[in-house]
Amino acid sequence: MLSLQNQLLIAMPTLNDSIFKRSLIYICEHDHTGAMGIIINRPAGIDIGALLEQMELTDPSPTFADIPKNQVLIGGPVTPDRGFVLHSPQPFWTTSQSLNEELMLTTSRDILASLGSDKAPANYLVALGYAGWAKDQLEQELADNAWLTVAATPELLFTTEHQDRWQIAMQSLGFDVWQMSSQTGHA
């Protein structure tokens, strides 16, 4: 089995499921038991500063105001009340998992309290919920042409505007997705 960990899933235009339509998903884990990822281009309509205020983790701060990349994201339909922070490496958070040399995933409140301060990771995104696949489910969806894959880059994850991420990921493949057929051929 080829692992898609540290790759991006790009929803094909034919995938019309409401939450996954034109979604771009960073795959955090993928092994023989299934897969887990975070949607990185679906803002939840709340900025990080407001979330931190609601959680009583910070005083009202203009640090996050009106900055699109500091929107909380809808990470996926599974446990939408649980927060995930995908960030550049910092080894001292309570519940962090190293994904590769450039990324970690943390689920603890201590990292949230650091956001907007000099203790925050250099790059981060905050998401509520995640996307999950059971054993062999993602492989079947790939075989059904629901997704394309592309290597994740720090630019796509952290500096590209949310509304541009799907299109830029598609363009990185080097062809016009709108000219592709949703039909597959079998010899």
Over 50: is that where the pLDDT of 33 sits? yes
Rounded-to-integer distance, Cα 7 and Cα 23, Å:
14
Q: For the chain, how many residues are written?
A: 187
Q: What is the pLDDT of residues 50-74, one digit of tens each?
A: 888 888 776 555 455 444 457 899 9
Fold of 7-83+124-179: VC0467-like (3.40.1740)
**Residue 187: what pLDDT?**
46
Confidence band of 92 (pLDDT split at 50, 70, 90): confident
Rounded-to-integer distance, Cα 71 and Cα 42, Å:
9
Prediction pTM value: 0.88
Angle, vertex CA 104, rays to CA 165 and CA 29, nearest 5 = 75
Looking at 12-167, which runs of residues are DSSP E strands? 24-31, 34-39, 43-47, 71-74, 78-87, 96-98, 104-106, 124-134, 147-151
**Residue 161: what pLDDT?**
92
What percent of the chain stands above pLDDT 70?
87
Domain map of the chain by residue range? 7-83+124-179
Rounded-to-integer distance, Cα 112 and Cα 107, Å:
9
Q: How far apart are the two ends of the chain, measured CA to CA in Å?
A: 23
Q: φ and ψ at 81, to 5 degrees?
A: -95, 0
Mean pLDDT in residue range 92-119: 87
**Residue 64: what pLDDT?**
54
Average pLDDT for the chain: 87
**Residue 40: what pLDDT?**
97
